[in-house]
Amino acid sequence: MERSQSQSGMPSGDPTVGEEAKEVLQASLCLSILTQKPPVVQRVNALIDCIGPCRGPFEKQVKASDLREQQNRLLLQKANVREFVLPLLREDDDPKQGMAVTAFDMEGEAFPVRFKLWCSKVYVLMSGWKEFVRKNRPKESDILQMWAFRDVRTEGLCFLIAVRRSKVAGQSADGSTSVEDPKGDRVSPAVSHSSSVASHSNSNV
């Protein structure tokens, strides 16, 4: 099975990379709640506290097939899975059989899904994926910014997924891409600044 792992059974890889990814993710989540209501703030703060070993971010452009309810799956690029997800797997994790994992949105809401290797060819998030789509309403050509991490409470594998609207969907006057929240309001996503957050992660986290 494809994975990067130490003899102790814990995820292997450069710990500096993992810690930097964790700091960027936590900083992005902190920025995302600046204008949110208390229930969302509480969920996101709880999510920040549970982030353990972490990898990312990586991006996935939404295709029409990713949005079809009857298919109910998100197709992931194999190269991204190898670099960002497989290093977090443990001895008893088996994507070929399918793994119960949790996907979180930027409001800290949890969506139970399955991470699976289909036909030894493609990796997908499936089963509960349509619930994430219904709530967050990604559109074709939008960009999903994703992190993979281990929950320090449950030790389960998790994904954090932020929806970034494509330029086709709309662009603000300053050229930054806009995001529609679930109510249909257009807002600027905190995660669009993750690259700048990464360069200042030590001062922001």
pTM of the model: 0.75
Measure CA 18 to chain center.
14
What pLDDT, in 10s, does the model give residues 118-174?
888 899 999 999 999 999 999 999 999 999 999 999 999 999 999 998 876 444 434
Instruction: Calculate the CA dihedral of residues 189, 163, 22, 72 and round it to 10 degrees.
Output: 160
Q: What is the pLDDT of residue 34?
A: 86
pLDDT at 8 over 60: no
Sheet with strand 99-104: strands edge to edge:
51-61, 143-151, 157-164, 99-104, 110-118, 122-126, 73-76
How many domains would you assign to the chain?
A: 1
Q: State the Cα–Cα distance between residues 161 and 165, nearest whole angstrom.
A: 13
Q: Which residue from 166, 191, 23, 173 is spatially nearest to 107, judged by alpha carbons?
A: 191
pLDDT at 49 over 90: yes
What residues are paired with 101 via a beta bridge? 113
What residues are paired with 6 via a beta bridge? none
pLDDT at 74 over 80: yes
- Residue 94: how many CA atoms within 13 Å on its side-chain side? 3
| 193 is a domain residue | no
| 29 is a domain residue | yes
| β-strands 73-76, 51-61 pairing | unpaired
Greater pLDDT, 185 or 125? 125
| 111 is a domain residue | yes
Task: Among 5-9, 31-35, 75-79, name the one with the lowest average pLDDT.
Answer: 5-9
| 43 is a domain residue | yes
Residue span of the structural domain in which 133 resides: 15-182
Q: State the Cα–Cα distance between residues 136 and 92, nearest whole angstrom.
A: 32
pLDDT at 92 over 70: yes
The SS3 assignment for 15 reads helix
| 201 is a domain residue | no
CATH assignment at residue 100: 2.40.330.10
Q: What is the pLDDT of residue 168?
A: 60
| 194 is a domain residue | no
For residue 35, name the pLDDT band (cuts at 50, 70, 90): confident
| 190 is a domain residue | no
| 191 is a domain residue | no
What residues are paired with 179 via a beta bridge? 187
Q: What is the pLDDT of residue 17?
A: 66
